[in-house]
Amino acid sequence: MSFVQKVLAAVDQGDLTSAQALLQKAFQQDTDDDLYSLAEALNQRGISDQAALIYQHLLDKYPQEDILKVNLAEILVSNNQMDAATDLLAQISEDSPAYLNALLTSADLYQSMGLYEVSEQKLLTALKIAPQESVVQFAMAELYFTENKFQLAITFYEKLLAAQITEMAGISIHERLAASYAGTGNYEQAVQQYRQVQAALLNTDNLYNYARLEYELHNYSAAKRLVQQLLQQAPDYSAAYVLAVRLANQQHDFATAVKMAQLGLNYDPFNQLLYQMGAKAAVQLGSLATAQQLLTTGISQVSEPGALIMQLSDLFLRQNDYTANLKLLDQYQTTLAQEPRYHWNKARSLFQQEHVDDALQEMLLVYQTYQADPNYLRDLIQILQVVQKPQLLKNALQKYLHYVPDDSAMVELLDELQFSDEN
């Protein structure tokens, strides 16, 4: 057995210390061709540092072999040694047999640095040299995909499929096409691409995206099946529970919606959306205590609980628990001072507890925000009737009737005010 073979055997057994010692002997006794093959094999196994040592050893012996420079540069790029990689690639001339490979590696280097325009120019040059080369087409597609230039990416992914290439570098072309079509808003085409891949072969992110697209297309049974498969595969996938709750709500299965929200929160107790959706489903179910428990827990868990606080405030108002609502809003006054609904909800509770002047003050603070909202105007009118502000009341009534002209009670009230003014 050659030392090259012994190195690989040691690597496969996880004995990297022995592999390192054996590599030094391989340098002394094995052929350069065997060493080159070893470098490729090690790189494929993710042992790139040792592969780089071999390429450098060979490059010292054969400084004109440009492919060695390319292979070493690829490793340097992956190790974020951009300057060293750039120096190597700059040594490769346009007439070199390795020039195409150098262009691809350069494109990868500049893409890694976020210099997408430079990367694109390298790839366009490569495309002129080898327009039918699948690796070039794939690199173009991946660059455009990374830049969210999905329509351009689609063009190159479709070329690969036309050449019967469905996978490159461990990446499914169908999955990439699906994501690209979804990025352009073409959900039907995206789903068609996902359907070309067995669901069992999709990773969790693609499985979720597939399920979400089926949901958006109102294919609820398919979406539900995919979510169930995803949660069997990855029970801690938080976004899947959000989709499961949406599916249950769509079917008016609020008990399942609450259950799925609670299950998801067991894995992700900081998911604000699950608290919100679970509480809404609990209200639909008539389980107000469950809704309150979900919201109270969420407020204590999430970093920005403003939306949950207001949802709990709405719940207290629904229950006519004005004391609890005022206590909640006072507790989070600093957090919610800039939230218009805070003042509206507070005014509603103050009014019910006969603090009418304070209620009016809170309502007027957010008049500019809600003056086109009939529900707000109705509450304001109710308060103005009590505080005896006839001119303000008339203005509020006129504005309200602009939006709800067929409210006979409000029409009658305005008529009474106008009659009083005339007499």
What's the confidence (pLDDT) of residue 193? 94
- Matching residue, tokens 């190159």: 156
C-alpha angle with apex 54: 48 to 56, nearest 5 degrees? Answer: 100
Query: pLDDT tens digit string along 205-248?
Result: 999 999 999 999 999 999 999 999 999 999 999 999 999 999 99
Answer yes or no: is pLDDT of 399 > 70: yes
Mean of pLDDT values over 38-58: 87
Mean of pLDDT values over 385-404: 91
What's the one-letter identity of residue 352?
A: Q
Question: Cα(134)–Cα(305) distance, rounded to whole angstroms?
Answer: 50
What's the confidence (pLDDT) of residue 2? 81
Mean of pLDDT values over 322-329: 97
Query: pLDDT tens digit string along 246-261?
Result: 999 999 999 999 999 9
What's the confidence (pLDDT) of residue 276? 98
Enclosing H/E stretch for 309: helix 306-318
Long-range contacts of 177-184 (CB under 8 A, 24+ apart): 178/206, 178/209, 178/210, 178/213, 179/145, 179/206, 179/209, 180/145, 180/150, 180/151, 180/153, 180/154, 181/150, 181/154, 182/209, 182/213, 183/148, 183/150, 184/150, 184/151, 184/154
The band of 1, judged by pLDDT with boundaries at 50, 70 and 90, is: low
What's the confidence (pLDDT) of residue 45? 85
Alpha-carbon dihedral of residues 212, 216, 218, 219, nearest 10 degrees? Answer: -30
What's the confidence (pLDDT) of residue 22? 79
Mean of pLDDT values over 393-409: 93
What's the confidence (pLDDT) of residue 5? 83
What's the confidence (pLDDT) of residue 423? 54
Residue 167's DSSP bridge partners are 172
> What Å distances lie between residue 65 and 60, 77, 86, 210, 311, CA to CA?
10, 19, 16, 46, 68
What's the confidence (pLDDT) of residue 170? 86
Q: Give me the sign of the Cα torsion angle 93, 98, 101, 105.
A: negative
Q: What are phi and psi of 168, to 5 degrees?
A: -145, 140
CB 311 within 8 A of CB 279: yes
Q: Which residues contact 386 (CB under 8 A, 6 or more apart)?
A: 351, 356
Query: pLDDT tens digit string along 158-176?
Result: 999 999 999 998 899 999 9
CB 366 within 8 A of CB 340: yes
Which of these, 342, 338, 358, lies nearest to 350 by C-alpha position? 358
**pLDDT averaged over every residue in the chain:** 92
Q: What are phi and psi of 151, to 5 degrees?
A: -65, -40
pTM of the model: 0.77
Answer yes or no: is pLDDT of 421 > 90: no
Question: Cα(219)–Cα(212) distance, rounded to whole angstroms?
Answer: 10
Query: pLDDT tens digit string along 270-309?
Result: 999 999 999 999 999 999 999 999 999 999 999 999 999 9
Query: pLDDT tens digit string along 57-115?
Result: 899 989 999 999 999 999 999 888 999 999 999 999 999 999 999 999 999 999 998 99
